[in-house]
Amino acid sequence: MEKPVRLQKFLAQAGIASRRKAEEYITQGRVKVDGKIITAMGAQIVPGKQKVFFDNREVLGEEQHIYILLNKPKGYVTTLSDPQGRPIVTSLLQGIKERVFPVGRLDLDTEGALLLTNDGELAQSILHPSNEVFKTYEAEVRGFPAPTAIRALEKGVLVEKKKTAPAKVRIKQRNKLNTRITITIHEGRKRQVKKMFQAVGYPVQSLKRLSYGSLGLDNLGVGKYKILNKNDLKKIFSNKSLYKQKNS
Ligand code: URA
């Protein structure tokens, strides 16, 4: 007989979500074991012996892992369902039969690199702050940020009373009214890039994620995706951001 495992670990291994997200689903009452909703943290189950349901669909245990990089278009939500009926990112994955989930989020109006997988453990290590996975964004901001604003972003600014970790910031291009800037951060706070630019007085007009670590979009068109191999996955954890490789 299989050994007991923690419920959140079982859900993560079965590709439902990262472990942390699986914990949220448990507390929200979306997980049933043998017909009973379990909300207590720390519950264990015996795979193969007990039946686990997430949102009333049976969770069948470990699947073959798959890793996808999608160039998310604007106007798509990164949740798996949307009460307002807006399009969801997984609807762009025609031809993928595995049930995958996005690793982290991008705002409705943000485009660019979005990883999707059914490997909850890998998702957890990408999202865990201690691993400091670098993400590079290209922001178009209104106005022409002064050098003091750029330095403030680099050193850290107050976002919801907490200072952001140091960032790498480069001005790419000045247009008539806007400036195109790349910014590399390793934290993943909600709407962090927009809030950072807001904090220094230059609101973001449009935002695109270019890369995770040194894994970039390359020539992937908007709305298109590619399946990643082991080498691609290593690039996510490379502390040399794509931005650093190309610009320094
Ligand atoms: N930061 C933001 O403000 N928005 C995103 O979608 C991603 C990072």
> Residue type at 108?
L
pLDDT at 1: 62
Characterize the bridge pairing of strands 110-117 and 204-212.
parallel
Which residue puts its alpha carbon closest to atom 7 of ligand 1? 106
- Residue nearest to ligand 1 atom 3, measured at CA: 191
Every domain of the chain and the residues it spans: 5-59, 67-129+217-236, 135-212
CATH topology of domain 67-129+217-236: Alpha-Beta Plaits (3.30.70)
Domain at 135-212: CATH code: 3.30.70.1560
Looking at residue 248, its pLDDT comes to 38
Which of the four pLDDT bands, split at 50, 70 and 90, describes residue 245? Answer: very low
At residue 222, φ and ψ (nearest 5 deg) are -65, 130
Task: Give the pLDDT band of residue 60 (cuts 50, 70, 90).
Answer: confident
pLDDT at 64 over 70: yes
- The structural architecture, per CATH, of the domain 5-59 is Roll (3.10)
Q: CA dihedral defined by 69, 74, 75, 78, rounded to 10 degrees?
A: 30
**Closest CA to ligand 1's atom 2:** 191
Per-residue pLDDT at 241 = 55
Q: Is a pLDDT exceeding 70 seen at residue 229?
A: yes
Strands of 36-37's sheet in order across: 36-37, 31-33, 52-54, 57-58
Mutate which of 164, 193, 195, 212 for ligand 1? The one with the most ligand atoms within 8 Å of its CB, which is: 193
Topology alike, domains 67-129+217-236 and 135-212: yes
At 246, the pLDDT band (50, 70, 90 cuts) reads very low
pLDDT score for 243: 52
Q: How far is the CA of 216 from the centre of ligand 1 (A)?
A: 17
Q: Which pLDDT tens digit goes with each residue over 8-39?
A: 999 998 889 999 999 999 999 999 999 999 99
Q: What is the predicted pLDDT for the residue at 240?
A: 58
- The per-residue pLDDT of the chain, averaged, comes to 92
- Catalytic residue, candidates 107, 109, 119, 218: 107
Counting residues of the chain whose pLDDT is more than 70, the rounded percentage is 96
* pLDDT tens digit sequence for 72-95: 999 999 998 899 999 999 999 998
- Whether 196 and 183 have beta carbons less than 8 Å apart is answered as yes
